[in-house]
Amino acid sequence: MIKHIVAWNFPESEKSEIMQQMKTLLESLPALIPEIEFYEVGINTLDSEFAMDMILISGFQDQAALDTYSKHPEHQQVVKALGATGAERVVVDFEV
């Protein structure tokens, strides 16, 4: 299994609204992309200078499934929407 983790920090302007919108968009993907085996989106509750604002933790059977997800048109629409927010992101993929 491949775990795919993405974390974002959003600009301060309308942060709460934007995070909720992006969370809703991300959470729509499992119903649209069958390669997704596990998918969880969370908004940070920790008040720390080291904390990120939002995280996605997802799981895929193998690298081919993750690649299919990454290229899927519905995923690409969400990537575009997230990019338009000006959010900074970090990504980690690892095999379990």
Burial 15-31 (b: 16+ CB within 10 A, else e): eeebbeebeebbeebbe
Place of tokens 């795919």: 4
Q: What is the pLDDT of residue 36?
A: 98
Q: Specify the 3-state DSSP secondary structure of 51.
A: coil
Q: Which amino acid, one-letter code, is at 96?
A: V
Q: What is the pLDDT of residue 31?
A: 98
Q: What is the pLDDT of residue 92?
A: 98
Q: What is the pLDDT of residue 63?
A: 98
| Residue-range domains of the chain with CATH | 2-95 (3.30.70.100)
pLDDT in tens, the chain (96 residues): 999 999 999 999 889 999 999 999 999 999 999 999 999 999 999 999 999 999 999 999 999 999 999 999 999 999 999 999 999 999 999 999
